[in-house]
C-alpha cells in the first residue's frame, strides 16, 4: 500500500528501472548482518540459557532488531535527500532533546552505572546513536550554507563548535566518552573535507588531543582504564579482567579457530561477550582467517561509502556528499575503537561493533544509514537534486547502465 502511495515519487525501490540499488554496498552490509546474527546466537547462548531458560532468547530479540533495521533502511531510501537537508535544524533540536531526556530521572534508564538509555516496555532506545546521525545531517547542511565562510574565516570554523561542544557535554554527563569521541571525530573529518585550512584543522586536532587528556584525567575510572590497558595482566582478576579474557579468546582461536559454537570464553569468562566483545568470540571461533575476512568486509563497506560521497560531490550534490562522508566516519570510528578495544590497542570503551554487536538502537541506526547511503548513491547517479539538472519523471523510465 505504501509503495502505491509513493509511486509518483521515484526512489531506488520505485523507478523506471525497478529496484535500482548499489548492490555492492548492500551485499556487504547484509553479509555483516548475517554474520552478526550467527555470532550473537553463538556468543549469547550460554548467558541466555541461564538468564531466561532459552539459549536462543537473544537471537530472537536480535531478529526483531534486524527486522526493524531493515524497515528503517527501506523507509530512509524513500525520502529524498533534499528533505533531510530541510529538516537539519529540527533534527539538531531533536538530538538535544533526546540527550536531555535521557538524563532526567525516571525517563533515563541506568545500566552499569551509565544513563544512556530511554526505557520502554520491551526495548531501550539509546539517544546517542540517533544524535550522532542527526549531528552529521545538520553539519552537512551547515557546510553547504556556509562553505565560503568555513574555508576562509575563523568564525565559520568555530561556529559548529557552538553546537558540538554542548552536545559533547551532554554525552559526557551520561557518561558516554566513546560516543563523544566518535561524534567529534566525524565532525572534524567533515570540516576538513569541507575545506577548513590545514592550520585551523591542525589547531583543532591539538585542542582535541588536549581535551581528551584532560577528560581522561578528570575521572578516576577513565585513568584506571588507561593504566589497565597498558598492562592488563598486572590486575588480571580486577580492572584488567575483561581485556585479559578477550586476549585469551584471540589466543585460543589461532589461525582457523576452535569452530563455530565452541568458544570457551563465552561461558561466563568474558563479560559482554555478545555486545561489546563479540569480535573476541568471533576470533576464538573463526580464528585469524575469519577475523581478517570480517575486517575486510568492514573496510569494503566504509570505502564504498566514502566513494558514494565522492560520486555525490562530482555530481555537485554537496549536502549529500558531506552526509555520506560523515556517516562513513561514524562507522570508521566505531569499527576502529571497538576492534582496538578487543585486541588491546585501546582502553576499554562501551561502543558496539556496527552490524555485528547485539543492541537494538545501534543496529537500527546502522541500517537506516545504509538506506541513506543507497539513496545518496542513486540520486547522484541519476542526477536527481544536482545543481545542473532538473528532475523529470520521464528521466527514470529509460534503462541506463549502472556505470559503477
The CA–CA distances, whole Å, from 319 to 14, 83, 216 equal: 23, 11, 35
Report the share of the chain in percent with pLDDT over 90.
Answer: 49
- pLDDT tens, 297-306? 999 999 999 9
Spans of all domains in the chain: 19-78+219-382, 102-217
Model pLDDT for residues 358-372, shown as the tens digit of each residue? 888 899 999 999 999
Q: Residue 303 class from Cβ within 10 Å (0-12 exposed, 13-18 middle, 19+ buried)?
A: middle
Q: Which residue has the cell 546517542?
A: 128
Cβ 329 vs Cβ 139: under 8 Å: no
Binned at pLDDT 50, 70 and 90, residue 6 comes out as very low
Cβ neighbours for 27, distance < 8 A, ≥ 6 positions apart: none
**pLDDT at residue 393 above 70?**
no
d(CA 187, CA 198): 15
pLDDT score for 395: 44
Structure confidence at residue 16 as a pLDDT band (50, 70, 90): low
**Residue 4 pLDDT level (bands cut at 50, 70, 90):** very low
Cell of 357: 554487536
Q: Phi then psi for 266, rounded to 5 degrees? A: -70, -15
pLDDT attached to residue 386: 53
Summarize pLDDT for 47-99 with one digit per residue, the tens. Answer: 888 888 889 999 999 999 999 999 999 999 999 999 999 999 999 999 999 99
Q: How many CA atoms lie within 13 A of 384 on its CB side?
A: 21
Residue with cell 555485528: 356
DSSP one-letter code for 174: T
Q: Is the dihedral of CA 119, 178, 282, 241 positive or negative?
A: negative
Q: What strand order describes the sheet that includes 124-125?
A: 108-111, 114-119, 124-125
Q: What is the spatial distance between Cα 138 and Cα 134, in angstroms, rounded to a whole number?
A: 6
Of 289, 244, 250, the residue nearest 271 (C-alpha)? 244
What mean pLDDT comes out for the span 10-22?
76
DSSP class of residue 110?
E
Return the closest-CA partner of residue 307 out of 403, 196, 184, 192.
403
297: enclosing H helix or E strand: helix 278-314
Average pLDDT, whole number, for the chain? 85
Report the distance separating Cα 208 and Cα 165, nearest Å: 11
The pLDDT of residue 31: 96
**338 half-sphere exposure, CB direction, 13 A CA radius:** 26
End-to-end Cα separation, the chain, in angstroms: 32
Among 101-105, 158-162, 221-225, the minimum mean pLDDT is found in 221-225
Amino acid at each position: 500500500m505504501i509503495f502505491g502511495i509513493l509511486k509518483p515519487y521515484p526512489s531506488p525501490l520505485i523507478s523506471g528501472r525497478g529496484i535500482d540499488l548499489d548492490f555492492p554496498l548492500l551485499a556487504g552490509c547484509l553479509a555483516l548482518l548475517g554474520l552478526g546474527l550467527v555470532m550473537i546466537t553463538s556468543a549469547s547462548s550460554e548467558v541466555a540459557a541461564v538468564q531466561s531458560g532459552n539459549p536462543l532468547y537473544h537471537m530472537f530479540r536480535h531478529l526483531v532488531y534486524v527486522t526493524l533495521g531493515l524497515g528503517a533502511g527501506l523507509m530512509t531510501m524513500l525520502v529524498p535527500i533534499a528533505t533531510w537537508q530541510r529538516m537539519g535544524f529540527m533534527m539538531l533540536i531533536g538530538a538535544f532533546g533526546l540527550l536531555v531526556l535521557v538524563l532526567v530521572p525516571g525517563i533515563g534508564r541506568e545500566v552499569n552505572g551509565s544513563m544512556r538509555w530511554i526505557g520502554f516496555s520491551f526495548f531501550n532506545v539509546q539517544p546517542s546513536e540517533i544524535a550522532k546521525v542527526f549531528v552529521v545531517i545538520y553539519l552537512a547542511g551547515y557546510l553547504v550554507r556556509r562553505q565560503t565562510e568555513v574555508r576562509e574565516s575563523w568564525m565559520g570554523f568555530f561556529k559548529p563548535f557552538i553546537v558540538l561542544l554542548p552536545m559533547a557535554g551532554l554525552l559526557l554527563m551520561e557518561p558516554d566518552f566513546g560516543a563523544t569521541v566518535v561524534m567529534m571525530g566525524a565532525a572534524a573529518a567533515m570540516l576538513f573535507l569541507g575545506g577548513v585550512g590545514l592550520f585551523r584543522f591542525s589547531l583543532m586536532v591539538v585542542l582535541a588531543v588536549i581535551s581528551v587528556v584532560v577528560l581522561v584525567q578528570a575521572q578516576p575510572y577513565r585513568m584506571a582504564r588507561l593504566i589497565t590497558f597498558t598492562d592488563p595482566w598486572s590486575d588480571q582478576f580486577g580492572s584488567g579482567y575483561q581485556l585479559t579474557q578477550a586476549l585469551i579468546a584471540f589466543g585460543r582461536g589461532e589461525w582457523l579457530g576452535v569452530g563455530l559454537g565452541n568458544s570457551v570464553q563465552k561461558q561466563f569468562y568474558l563479560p559482554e561477550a555478545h555486545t561489546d566483545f563479540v569480535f573476541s568470540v568471533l576470533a576464538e571461533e573463526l580464528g585469524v582467517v575469519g577475523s581478517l575476512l570480517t575486517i575486510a568486509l568492514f573496510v569494503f563497506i566504509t570505502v564504498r561509502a566514502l566513494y558514494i560521497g565522492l560520486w555525490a560531490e562530482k555530481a555537485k550534490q554537496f549536502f549529500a556528499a558531506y552526509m555520506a562522508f560523515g556517516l562513513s566516519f561514524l562507522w570508521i570510528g566505531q569499527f576502529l575503537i571497538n576492534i582496538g578495544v578487543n585486541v588491546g590497542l585501546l582502553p576499554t570503551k562501551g561502543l558496539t561493533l556496527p552490524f555485528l554487536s547485539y543492541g537494538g538502537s545501534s543496529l537500527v541506526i546502522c541500517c537506516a544509514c545504509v538506506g541513506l547511503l543507497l539513496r545518496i548513491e542513486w540520486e547522484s547517479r541519476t542526477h536527481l537534486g544536482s545543481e545542473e539538472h532538473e528532475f523529470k519523471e520521464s528521466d527514470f523510465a529509460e534503462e541506463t547502465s549502472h556505470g559503477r
